[in-house]
Amino acid sequence: MGPVSDESIAERIERLVAEEHQLRHREESDSHDTDRLEDDQDRLRAVEVELDRCWDLLRQRRALRDAGANPEDAHVRDAGTVERYLQ
């Protein structure tokens, strides 16, 4: 994977937010179809975790930049770390 920019992370966040909204809207129409509803809910949980990881990376990059360090030193943390950090 090449260099990551704040803009590319923000674009990924925008795409994930759009998917999250679509899934939440679809949950209503899938409420009668248990399998589809379960699939939507599983994907929604995965999207929420990925969003948390993207926001975490963006915060790391900004903190490094503010400290005069290289934002490229930021790294994507695993879901378990990010989820514990956010609670």
Q: What residue segments make up the domains of the chain, in order of their start?
A: 6-86
Q: Is the pLDDT of residue 77 over 50?
A: yes
Yes or no: say if 51 and 17 are a contact pair by the CB < 8 Å rule.
Answer: yes
Q: What is the phi-psi region of residue 68: left when phi exceeds 0, alpha when psi lies from -120 to 50, beta otherwise?
A: left
Q: How many CB atoms lie within 10 A of CB 55?
A: 15
Please give the pLDDT value at position 34: 87
CA–CA separation, 21 and 8 (whole Å): 20
Please give the pLDDT value at position 1: 47
pLDDT band at 83 (very low <50, low <70, confident <90, very high): confident
Mean pLDDT to the nearest integer, 40-56: 95
Q: Is the pLDDT of residue 13 over 90?
A: yes
